[in-house]
Every structure is written in structure tokens, then in C-alpha cells.
């Protein structure tokens, strides 16, 4: 799809974007000072952009290991959560009122090969952040969690009561920090919301922000790399599942819908009283097969995308998609942009611009 055929609005024009949503996005307490860790990355930068557009004051903290400084919103500070002195001085200077925590390592295969990295970055360093919040009396945090905390044997749709049995150190590290947030709510009154993402995809409608990691192992960017002739073919793992076409089913949600969930979670924490550590699934409540994604990628790129079928990977379930009823009821969340066409059209426009 050509970029000129995309919807004619720009995300930075917050009033136009707000009209497209069925729920009010602006946090009910205006102009908060918010620290966004990992805010130069994919989901963090989209969320920070909405926060700035809503009138909040944002400080982006990122070590740029996988993020990009040009994506950072508000004031940018290059730094790492392992640097406790930096955290102390930053919290003392900025007087934050809330934290949105995206900074993490997030590759399942890498976590199996190098669990030390994942427990250090995702647990120890996150604990440094939480202790800085405690010291400086910041009592609200929204945590970027994952559906990888759930058992890979669980039946779809998965709800928030689905068994927590992570199959990788990555999922385990997120589950551990969710537990820590509960303990800190009880002991120190720090309120938290953990958002368990399913498969975030897509890009901003003006193609300014998107998934810029060239090493991504996700289906959509790799399919688009075939469209750009940067890969000869796409590998499809398994075509003998009990699904409509034999390929695995996953819940894909547009990154702007994920970003919107954080705004709604901030509203929730502003309104709620008393210690709380809440969790919500953030998805669409349905899934698409691998072949459906590939077919839409062909339509969006106007290219043929060659693929080759491989054996199933150990532990890959047939279907993974969210039960989002809790987020809908409590947060007022509903995905607005997560039809497969919009996801692929926006992702392709950014991907072609960035890597073409």
C-alpha cells in the first residue's frame, strides 16, 4: 500500500487522534511529570508521544541498546537502570509523579541462551527503579509485562487467572517483577498496573515511529524483509496445527492501541486509592493465523512473499490470544486500530521507509 493512501492525520496532532478513539485519552489529572524508561524503543516511544501530546511532561530514560534517540520524546537522558546514582539524581531533580517502565531485554531465544542478562536487566535493574521510586515517594508505576508469563499449555483465550508458568527466562523475569510489584504495594503503598501484551505490531500513521530493530525475530518484520528482498524466504514453523489452515494463531494488536492502554492505566492509577498491584491483558481477543498474516502482507506490500514450512518448534502452542474483558470493563480499553490491514499497512510504510 502506498503511503499517500494512509489515513490523513498525524499522531502529533493530538486532537485529531483523540477523535478516532471511543474513549477519552487525556489523563484526568493533567500535566503529570512522568519518567518513561525504555522510551526510545518501540512501544515506549509511541506511548511517550501520546503523553506529550496530552500535555504531560515526559523524561525519556534509555541506554539505546535497542532504542533510538530520534524516537525519544520530551527530555532525553541516556542512561541505564543499573546506575543507581543516576536514578537518585534524576528522581531528585525531576520530581516525578509517575513512571512508565518499558526498559527490558525481550528475546525469548536469547533469554534461554543467556538467562543472566535477563534476570539482571529485567529483575535487578527494575528493582533499582522501584527502590528509587520508594526513596523519592513516587507511588505510581505502569509496567510493560507480557503474555509470556502464561503457561504454554494454556487454552486460548487466556485471561488474567490463567496459570503463571513461564516457559522461558524472559517470561519468568517478567513474572518475578509482577510479584515484586505486589509486595511493594503492600509494604510501601506503590500502586502499579502490569500490562500483559500479546503481539504488538504496526507503526505510527505518519511513519515516524515503528519497529526499527533490524534483528527482530517476529513474523511481521521478517515477512516485510522478504518483500524488500532482504530475505529470500520466510520460515513458517508448523502447518499441522488444529487451526483453520494448519498454522499457528496469534493475537496481533496495533502498537497505538497498546500505547492507549497505558494512558487508560494512568487514569486508573490516578483515581484508585490504597495499595494495588493490578494486571490486565492487552490484546484484541482474537487471533490470526500465520498464513493470514502472510496473505495480508502480500496485499499491503503488493509483493509475493515466499515462505518455506519447517517443523513445529518445541513448546509452540497452536493458539495464543487474549481474553480482554477485564481491561474493557475496568480500564474502558478496546482496540481501535488492530485489524490486520491497518497493522500491515502502517508497519509496511514505516519498514519500507526505514529499511528499503
Active site residues: 170
Q: Among candidates 125, 187, 140, 143, which has minimal Cα distance to 279? A: 143
**Cα–Cα distance, 233 to 329 (Å, whole number):** 42
- How big is the CA angle at 184 (ends 181 and 187), to the nearest 5 degrees? 155
Question: Residues with Cβ < 8 Å from 85, sequence gap 6 or more?
Answer: none
End-to-end CA, the chain: 14
User: How many CA atoms, within 13 angstroms, populate the side-chain half-sphere of residue 316?
Assistant: 19
Return the half-sphere exposure (C-beta side, CA atoms, 13 A cut-off) of residue 258: 32
What are the b/e assignments for 318-337, b being 16+ CB within 10 Å? bbbbbbbebbeeebebbbeb
Tell how many helices (H) and how many strands (E) occur in the chain: 12, 14
Amino acid at each position: 500500500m502506498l503511503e499517500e493512501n494512509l489515513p490523513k492525520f498525524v499522531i502529533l496532532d493530538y486532537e485529531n487522534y483523540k477523535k478516532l478513539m471511543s474513549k477519552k485519552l487525556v489523563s484526568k489529572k493533567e500535566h503529570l511529570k512522568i519518567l518513561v524508561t525504555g522510551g526510545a524503543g518501540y512501544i515506549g516511544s509511541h506511548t511517550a508521544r501520546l503523553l506529550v501530546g496530552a500535555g504531560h511532561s515526559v523524561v525519556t530514560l534509555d541506554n539505546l541498546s535497542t532504542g533510538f534517540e530520534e524516537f525519544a520524546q520530551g527530555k532525553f537522558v541516556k542512561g541505564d537502570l543499573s546506575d543507581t546514582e543516576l536514578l537518585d539524581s534524576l528522581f531528585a531533580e525531576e520530581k516525578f509523579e509517575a513512571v512508565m517502565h518499558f526498559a527490558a531485554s525481550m528475546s525469548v531465544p536469547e533469554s534461554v541462551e543467556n538467562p543472566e542478562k535477563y534476570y539482571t536487566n529485567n529483575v535487578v535493574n527494575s528493582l533499582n527503579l522501584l527502590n528509587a521510586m520508594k526513596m523519592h515517594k513516587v507511588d505510581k508505576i505502569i509496567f510493560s509485562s507480557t503474555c509470556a508469563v502464561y503457561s504454554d499449555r494454556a487454552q486460548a483465550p487466556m485471561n488474567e487467572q490463567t496459570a503463571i508458568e513461564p516457559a522461558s527466562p524472559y517470561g519468568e523475569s517478567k513474572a518475578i517483577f509482577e510479584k515484586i510489584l505486589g509486595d511493594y504495594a503492600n509494604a510501601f503503598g506503590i500502586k502499579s498496573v502490569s500490562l500483559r501484551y500479546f503481539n504488538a505490531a504496526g507503526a505510527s500513521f505518519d511513519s515516524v515511529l515503528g519497529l526499527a530493530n533490524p534483528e527482530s525475530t517476529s513474523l511481521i518484520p521478517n515477512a516485510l524483509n522478504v518483500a524488500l528482498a532482504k530475505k529470500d524466504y520466510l520460515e513458517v514453523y508448523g502447518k499441522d496445527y488444529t487451526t483453520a489452515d494448519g498454522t499457528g494463531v496469534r493475537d496481533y494488536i496495533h502498537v497505538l492501541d497498546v500505547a492507549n492502554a497505558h494512558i487508560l492505566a494512568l487514569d486508573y492509577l490516578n483515581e484508585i486509592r490504597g495499595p494495588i498491584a493490578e494486571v490486565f491483558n492487552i490484546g484484541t481477543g482474537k487471533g490470526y493465523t500465520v498464513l493470514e498474516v502472510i496473505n495480508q502482507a502480500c496485499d499491503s506490500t503488493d509483493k509475493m512473499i515466499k515462505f518455506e514450512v519447517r517443523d513445529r518448534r518445541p513448546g509452540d502452542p497452536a493458539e495464543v490470544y487474549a481474553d480482554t474483558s477485564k481491561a474493557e470493563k475496568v480500564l474502558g480499553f478496546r482496540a481501535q486500530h488492530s485489524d490486520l490491514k491497518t497493522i500491515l499497512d502502517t508497519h509496511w510504510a514505516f519498514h519500507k521507509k526505514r529499511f528499503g
